[in-house]
Structure 1
Amino acid sequence: MTATAQPIGALLLKRWRDPAAWMTTADIFVVLLALSLPWSTSLVGIFAVVTVLVMLPTVDAAAFIASLKRPISAVPIALFALALVGTLWSDARWGMRFYAVAPTAKFLLLPLLFYHFERSQRGLWVFTAFLASCVALLAMSWLVDFYPNLTLKAKAVASPGVFVKNYIDQSQEFALCAVALAFPIASLLRAKKIALALLLSVVALGFLANMAFVIVSRTALVTIPIMLAVFALLHLRWQTTLMILCAAMVAGVVAWAVSPLLQEKISSIGREYRLYEDHGATTSVGERLEFWRKSLLFFVEAPIAGHGTGSTEGLFEQAAAGQTGVAAEVIRNPHNQTLNVAVQWGVIGIVVLYAMWFSHLALFRGEGLFNWIGLLVVVQNIFTSLFNSHLFDFHEGWMYVLGVGVAGGLVLSANGTAGAHARKPS
């Protein structure tokens, strides 16, 4: 028994000291994080912590510190640091200040993901896992639409076709997957791999059909055409783009004609605005307009450094005093990423926020699948953040961190920067 145990112990010790084994383990946990993202918040938090722990043994300290000098890594850290320092001039209670810091902490994982996937070539595993998980959620969405009792949501907050989380998160996932598949479909068609291209086309159409006939957020309806336009401008000839534009318009008209859901979603925008404007009614559109108006006033009061981290709720409480209807609502999130940052950290925060977005856009200006995925994630986040604070929201924020971090590392590796900033495990 002792003779047998000795080689096993030696083998385990060798694996423990093997950087390549740690790299593989880290890849697996990032894959698990991607798999769990459409389904669970708790698992995402657990896998994120474990991912950091198993990545640490693979890090070359000097190379990692050197990589932090790049704007794509430095600016996310600066956003977290600003949120932390911003607690010093906030009037909010300390619990609320640190609660407001928490949504920015996930950006600290971005530099580590860039560094890791400069050396690991398993990033495609991560995106495949996320797609597969979304396809499984798509199947559950159709089932829940036909059998509503299958949902895990409480009846009071359940939405048609939503198995877990909410229809906004689900719409963001489905929209991202549907548009992201355009690049591999086009590439497969050029390579004459028709069967696989048709399979991916069916999957993409499945996502779009679900959003047309089951449930969709208005934010997704606005951003899908923008993302498709970005794809056409970057990857297609103008003649093809024109043909696709015409086909998309016809498809849109047909979808509008046969989908009561789309008709209701789009027509409700004008109806909700009129109810808010004429009667001060509490509607989704009216709430956003009211939140934006008040947030702009808060920003004007402290334009340089803002009111401090976690101050938003207190400001809305003061503004709601003596008000009725939508004007009396108190919120922590003004449903606009720029205003969310501006209220708390002023112009300084806005500069840091846009520096992060633009540095990540610049990272994905090349050709290839990973450039396309990374670009799409950033573009989607920027435009959906006009109507929500999606960088600070748990689900959409993690979509950004995972998509940009993994794709960014692979793009850096392909561009030949891995040798300068990261040493591959031997």
Structure 2
Amino acid sequence: MTGATNEQRRVSWLAAIWAARYRTPARFVALIALLLPWTTTGLTFALIPWLIAFAFLDLRAFPRSLLRPICLLPIALVALAGLGMLWSDAPWPERIHALGPAAKLLVIPLLIYQFERWPYGGWVFAAFLASCTALMLYSFAVAIDPALSLKLYLSRGPYKVESGIAVRNYIDQSQEFALCALALVYPVVSLLRQGRSRSAALFAGLAAGFLANMIFVVVSRTALVTLPILVLLFALLHLRLRTALLAAGAMGLLAVLLFVASPHLRMTVAKFQADYEMSVQDSQVSGMGSRLEYWRKSLGFIADAPLIGHGTGSIRALFTSVAVDAEMDPLRGEIVSNPHNQTLSAAVQWGVVGVLILYALWLAHLALFRGEGLASWIGLLVVVQNMLTSLFNTHLFDFTAGWIYVLGVGVAGGMALAAKRRQS
């Protein structure tokens, strides 16, 4: 009897160790999601134990997993960036530095493999939501008392620390809050359909908090442009046509009321025209006007090397070669290493080949999230948001937005594949 009991204990301990073998990597990914809204250094250090834990998973099917387009295309884009260093004229430190932002895409196949097999993706989403909720509350506090900010020196565009920027910058903060607010719409609708009105009200209140911060405290113009498109996407995918039309009308009315009620929102919208006039009439640097100048110059660079581009890390040297005296013309004298458009960034460095791989990657990941379920909605939202915001920034290669894409596609992609496998 004692021997049987000991054997049962041994089996129980082995089962616990085996389960921990798969829970531990998920905990580290959740830690990465928790740190992402707050720190770059902490996230980088959290990657190391996750990679170590990942190595102890059952990796027998991993090589075959890499052959799927959803995994192969991120690898192809990073490989192209690596090869692009060979024909670049930029100094080698700049070539290597330019490879770094693309290298994070190599994490996507690992996350897809992990969360396709072991069901702990919900931890990652919960950690990111909790972290952004804390950041949102902190942002409100900073709007009341600017001395509470972790970045007292911060000044981006028209925004000062008084606007409620707690850490990072207003673009990253708006990206995170918009993503959380829209991701919560799916569980709110699902809970209402199930008759669980209290839980739905809790999530709806949380989403309203994110939106209120964007409307009355600080919001980027990129988020302001993309948010209505993402709301319309949800309505078309998950609501009946009549309900979607009613919701669209209600959202339009609400937008007008909020525009009237929020001086901050009116100032943000008015800045579109102010930026254009500042750059066109006075040749002064501005958010919108500078982007138009970057795009104009980038098209010229692409025309000079349309097939394989100028090579990895070449953007800054190209802008330097066509810059005029900054004192005479501040706008055309700007030297940047980022054209503030993902497509142009890929085209300048890697030509048509780079653009084809970039769009194939986006489309493959869009196709991955066809179907129902929270994971599919979050994944679809992450991809579409990245595609839209990449019209005005290089958000696939930027740190915060790029890691949101990596985590969103990797974790949600694995969960969506697991759900499809169970259904089939």
**Which TM-score applies when normalising by structure 2?**
0.93
| Structure 1 residue 334 corresponds to structure 2 residue 339 | yes
Instruction: Work out the CA distance in 1 between the residues paired with 2:106 and 2:375.
Output: 21
Structure 2 CA distance for partners of 1:156 and 1:162, relative to 1, 3 Å: closer
Q: Alpha-carbon deviation of 1:17?
A: 11
Secondary structure in structure 2 of the residue aligned to 1:57: coil
1:349 to 345, 351, 354: 354
**Equivalences, count:** 408
| Corresponding letter in the other structure for 2:220 | S
| Structure 1 residue 199 corresponds to structure 2 residue 198 | no
Q: Pairwise mapping of residues 174-185 of structure 1 onto structure 2 (< 5 A)?
A: 174-185=177-188
| Corresponding letter in the other structure for 1:80 | V
Query: Higher mean Cα deviation, 273-282 or 199-208?
Result: 273-282
2:324/2:332 contact within 8 Å kept: no
Q: Alpha-carbon deviation of 1:322?
A: 4.1
| Corresponding letter in the other structure for 1:268 | K
Q: Alpha-carbon deviation of 1:20?
A: 3.0
| Structure 1 residue 358 corresponds to structure 2 residue 363 | yes
1:403 to 408, 415, 423: 408
Secondary structure in structure 1 of the residue aligned to 2:56: helix
| Corresponding letter in the other structure for 1:282 | V
The residue that corresponds to 1:121 in the other structure is 119
Q: Alpha-carbon deviation of 1:241?
A: 0.4
The residue that corresponds to 1:33 in the other structure is 32
Instruction: Work out the CA distance in 1 between the residues paired with 2:18 and 2:33.
Output: 23
| Structure 1 residue 317 corresponds to structure 2 residue 320 | yes
| Structure 1 residue 306 corresponds to structure 2 residue 304 | no
The residue that corresponds to 2:262 in the other structure is 259
1:15/1:21 contact within 8 Å kept: no
Offset from partner CA, 1:184-218 (integer Å, 9 cap, x none): 00000000000010111111111111001000000
The residue that corresponds to 1:53 in the other structure is 52
Structure 2 CA distance for partners of 1:18 and 1:141, relative to 1, 3 Å: same
Q: Alpha-carbon deviation of 1:154?
A: 3.2
Structure 2 CA distance for partners of 1:156 and 1:186, relative to 1, 3 Å: closer
Calculate percent identity across the aligned residue pairs.
51
Q: Structure 1 stretches of 5 or more lacking a match?
A: 1-6, 420-426
Secondary structure in structure 1 of the residue aligned to 2:331: helix
Offset from partner CA, 1:328-365 (integer Å, 9 cap, x none): 00000000000011000000000010011000000001
The residue that corresponds to 1:393 in the other structure is 398
| Corresponding letter in the other structure for 2:244 | T
2:218 to 209, 215, 219: 215
Please, what is the CA RMSD of the aligned residues? Answer: 1.9
| Corresponding letter in the other structure for 1:140 | Y
1:279 to 279, 282, 295: 282
The residue that corresponds to 1:422 in the other structure is none
Instruction: Work out the CA distance in 1 between the residues paired with 2:194 and 2:56.
Output: 41
Secondary structure in structure 2 of the residue aligned to 1:292: helix
Offset from partner CA, 1:370-404 (integer Å, 9 cap, x none): 10000000000000000000000000000000011
The residue that corresponds to 1:92 in the other structure is 90
1:382 to 372, 380, 387: 387
Q: Structure 2 stretches of 5 or more lacking a match?
A: 1-5
1:90/1:310 contact within 8 Å kept: yes
1:118/1:418 contact within 8 Å kept: no
Q: Alpha-carbon deviation of 1:125?
A: 1.1
Query: Higher mean Cα deviation, 355-364 or 262-271?
Result: 262-271
Q: Pairwise mapping of residues 64-103 of structure 1 onto structure 2 (< 5 A)?
A: 64-103=62-101
The residue that corresponds to 1:235 in the other structure is 238
